[in-house]
């Protein structure tokens, strides 16, 4: 019954921007911290960013900290990832996930979306 549905991925040239969205249903959205992870071909899934239940606290992995911004709109049950100055190494499937505690590892996230592909060309 819980569903997380990502959207907004696609093809973009290096230096461009994308905004990913994750729409949640089947859960009380404001009870959960939300996170974004990504997985590139041949690599393990890695943490990108997370945001607390209220949206007042955020953090991003150092490699994207100055380029990506995570936000949420609890009235719309949606979390966003604004990605600017994209690089080819950002190419990956991006996943939205929900957790009841603050965490940066995938093991602690109870619910996951199916992912959306982001491809950055050089």
Confidence tier at 45 by pLDDT (50, 70, 90)? very high
Query: If you count them, how many residues does the chain have?
Result: 122
50-106: per-residue pLDDT in tens? 999 999 999 999 999 999 999 999 999 999 999 999 999 999 999 999 999 999 999
**Residues near 77 by Cβ (< 8 Å), separated by ≥ 6?**
23, 24, 25, 29
Q: Which residue(s) pair with 9 in the sheet?
A: none
Confidence tier at 111 by pLDDT (50, 70, 90)? very high
């Amino acid at each position: 019954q819980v569903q997380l549905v990502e959207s907004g991925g696609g093809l973009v040239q290096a230096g461009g921007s994308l905004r990913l969205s994750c729409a949640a249903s089947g859960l009380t959205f404001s009870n959960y911290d939300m996170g974004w992870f990504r997985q590139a071909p041949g690599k393990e899934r890695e943490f990108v960013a997370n945001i607390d239940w209220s949206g007042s606290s955020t953090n991003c992995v150092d490699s994207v900290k100055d380029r990506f911004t995570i936000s949420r709109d609890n009235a719309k049950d949606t979390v966003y990832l604004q990605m600017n100055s994209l690089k080819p190494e950002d190419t990956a499937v991006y996943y939205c996930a929900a957790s009841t505690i603050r965490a940066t590892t995938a093991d602690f996230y109870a619910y996951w979306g199916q992912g959306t592909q982001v491809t950055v060309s050089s």
